[in-house]
Chains A and B, each alone.
Chain A
């Protein structure tokens, strides 16, 4: 009898033991949520802006320390790689567990707004940050659906420009950046020789492709969504826009077919920075330039050529890109979180961080720093202020990026393989993408 009972006990105990062991060894993660008697601690997910996760942390930490000194609020920052960020935000929104404050790509604003997981910035909240007028108009426009209070506030501003390699241009006898698309192609052809290429693109990057589809779509007067929010990716104008971009490789052959393989958002920059390509349509490349150990003076920045005003398109050559800061509804420290938002949009923080990342401050009063008077920054600022348009602020925006971007990956792959890229082909791919927008409303 006794031994039998012991048998039972041993079985149960060892099972329990195994699991208790597991629990005690690993359950001890500090959840970071603060009790009422402890000093307030915020958790902050930052996006990867600099050359590496570690480098980002080194940029942010002194600022966070300064915040703690000012307010007594400690901020635990985690720099989340772009490949994970949206999934992680989604998981946090679904579960109500996650950070208090988070960086979001500004193109996700309306999509994330639809989840209802974020604290809306009503007029009172904006007033606490210095009022609407303090912020750069275009950046503030990319913070959620029109007519609703912003779901986030902009912290880093960015747009697209055309970088060009001054030495390569001089070597090819070209005296300045192209002013029209035709010039860009002609220059590209002159620059393409001996393993060097006119232009580099990130041909397998879903988001880069989608952004260019949008910019050139604007130039052709296309709207991705009609007034009722229905997708219309395959309008003749949009087809022409996408084809214009793919044709750089397919028809004009000024883009290395290898670019069709570039997926992680760094390889095109590398080609440009290392002189394998003479032009690049990109956002800030400052940190890559620094990492490569070359001088920023070797490169010039011009606006992407605008279309001929007579063609009926819009005078747009950039999108309002950038990073917004959002506060989760589920935060238990909303006051502290709002203080942190005020800190991050404060003049000094804006200057320090945007200088470090090579991005544009999103508040007007930060521009008095001479660091933002360089030719590159000034050029970007001009584009952002005058000829940049925000991506459609609709909940389905992220589906647009995924579906159209993926379709364009395919087009680049086919172009690189030498297949002809016809209007009909582009239209068929875009129609497919449109039809897959079955979710949402």
Chain B
């Protein structure tokens, strides 16, 4: 409602004024058309721009502002009264000798490792799945559909099921490992301690490989069949075809897919939150949960905001470098 009113009246006024100006000759008659032509794209993107401003950009600017304040429970009712902290929050966050900085660094490294593994495995599974299902075979449609289910499930429903499977005493994982395969005598923990990292990766891959599979399947359908036929006539092996046709032609798809998977995993809050609750085990302390703890749970919003800004800067940097590198390589190829 807020958004629509100005945009509509703006449109009206623009049109009226244009009509009014158009009195005589050819050229003046053209002006309103030109004006409208120039204005139309802006009008079209206006709702999107306003919404992005409202939900993303303005809050982010406020968030950046918060990161310079000593914003604790004493001041949440009146932010303006919060003392200016300068770069204090940042200094604490990057002082890796202090407990806060060290914990942030640890969480950052855990997140990097988690993201690399989750993106790598999701991509690998998706790629193998898509390539192996490129040729039609009986049941392909059904299998394809089934493979997509984890992605279609609401995050919490899928993850909560995994957390049930990971229960030490009543979960499926330990039932299989201990009771059925007799791999260990002692029931391992999956939701606390060192294994929790593996659990997190498994759940993330389970949830996201279908997305990679979906995108890559779509990408494969864009590769013209005759390319394969031509290379088959040349006597190219299957493996050679994968390397010389499939992979290069999927490069633009992969460029975007890997980036999206990276950003999703790095910022993922839902999976660890549903799996572990508010305090994740140290070994699986992803950065989004860590920041949540540093601000919401400990009432230190300035410090949490500073950490988020650092995270944002890191993601911007990685994305920019990644796009620069992959785009250059692509244009050279």
Contact = CB atoms under 8 A, between A and B. Distances in A.
A–B in direct contact per CB < 8 Å: yes
Interface of A: 1, 4-5, 8-9, 11-13, 15-16, 19-20, 23, 83, 87, 90, 93-94, 96, 111-112, 114-117, 204, 206, 257-258, 260-261, 263-264, 395, 398-399, 402-403, 405-406, 409-410, 412-414, 416-417, 431-436, 438-440
Contacts of A409: 192, 279, 281
Interface of B: 1, 3-5, 7-8, 11-12, 14-15, 19, 33, 36, 40, 43-44, 47, 70, 72-74, 76-77, 92, 98-100, 102-103, 167-169, 187, 189, 191-194, 277-279, 281-282, 293, 296-300, 302-303
Contacts of B92: 438
A399 B47 contact: no
Contacts of B8: 12-13, 15-16
Contacts of A115: 73-74, 76-77
Nearest to B46: A15
24 contacts: A4-B33, A5-B19, A8-B12, A8-B36, A8-B40, A9-B11, A12-B4, A20-B1, A23-B1, A90-B296, A114-B74, A257-B168, A260-B189, A261-B192, A402-B298, A409-B192, A410-B282, A432-B102, A438-B300, A439-B70, A439-B300, A439-B303, A440-B72, A440-B74
Given A16-B8, A261-B189, A416-B189, A435 B98 contact: yes
A403 B297 CA distance: 9
Contacts of B11: 8-9, 11-12
A116 B81 CA distance: 13
Contacts, number: 143
Given A9-B11, A115-B76, A439-B300, A261 B4 contact: no
A19 B1 contact: yes
Contacts of B43: 8, 11-12
A435 B281 contact: no
A257 B73 CA distance: 37
Nearest to B92: A438
Contacts of B1: 19-20, 23
Contacts of A406: 279, 293
A96 B193 contact: no
A16 B7 contact: yes
Contacts of B279: 204, 206, 402, 405-406, 409
A264 B281 contact: no
B99 A439 contact: no
A416 B193 contact: yes
**Which 9 residue pairs of A and B lie closest in terms of their CB atoms, listed nearest first?**
A435-B99, A16-B4, A439-B300, A413-B192, A12-B8, A413-B193, A12-B11, A432-B99, A94-B76
A353 to B, nearest CB: 28
B100 A93 contact: no
Nearest to B168: A258
B99 A410 contact: no
Given A1-B19, A8-B11, A115-B74, A20 B99 contact: no
A417 B100 contact: no
Contacts of A8: 11-12, 14-15, 36, 40, 43
B299 A417 contact: no
A206 B99 contact: no
Contacts of A257: 168, 189
A399 B100 CA distance: 13
Contacts of B296: 87, 90
A417 B76 contact: no
A90 B99 contact: no
B298 A399 contact: yes
A111 B278 contact: no
A429 to B, nearest CB: 10
A15 B50 CA distance: 12
Point out which of B15, B36, B102, B303 has the most chain A C-beta atoms below 10 A from its C-beta: B15
Nearest to A259: B168
B189 A19 contact: no
A412 B281 CA distance: 11
Nearest to B47: A15
A263 B15 contact: no
Given A83-B278, A206-B279, A436-B99, A395 B73 contact: yes
Contacts of A405: 279
A12 B7 contact: yes
A318 B230 CA distance: 81
A264 B77 contact: no
A118 to B, nearest CB: 11
A260 B187 CA distance: 13
A206 B167 CA distance: 19
A406 B276 CA distance: 12
A440 to B, nearest CB: 5
B100 A414 contact: no
Contacts of B303: 438-439
Given A90-B299, A416-B192, A19 B99 contact: no
A111 B282 CA distance: 26
Contacts of A436: 99-100, 103, 298
B324 to A, nearest CB: 36
Contacts of A111: 73, 299
A11 B99 contact: no
B119 to A, nearest CB: 27
Contacts of B76: 90, 93-94, 115
A433 B281 CA distance: 15
Nearest to A27: B1
Contacts of A260: 189, 192-193
A265 B43 CA distance: 54
A201 to B, nearest CB: 13
Nearest to B195: A417
A412 B168 CA distance: 14
A117 B281 CA distance: 33
Contacts of B5: 16
Contacts of B278: 83, 206
B73 A402 contact: no
Nearest to A264: B277
Nearest to B39: A8
A263 B282 CA distance: 15
Contacts of A116: 74, 77
Contacts of B193: 260, 413-414, 416-417
B74 A395 contact: yes
Nearest to A17: B4
Given A15-B8, A439-B72, 8 more contacts: A8-B14, A11-B43, A19-B47, A93-B77, A114-B74, A116-B77, A258-B187, A440-B299
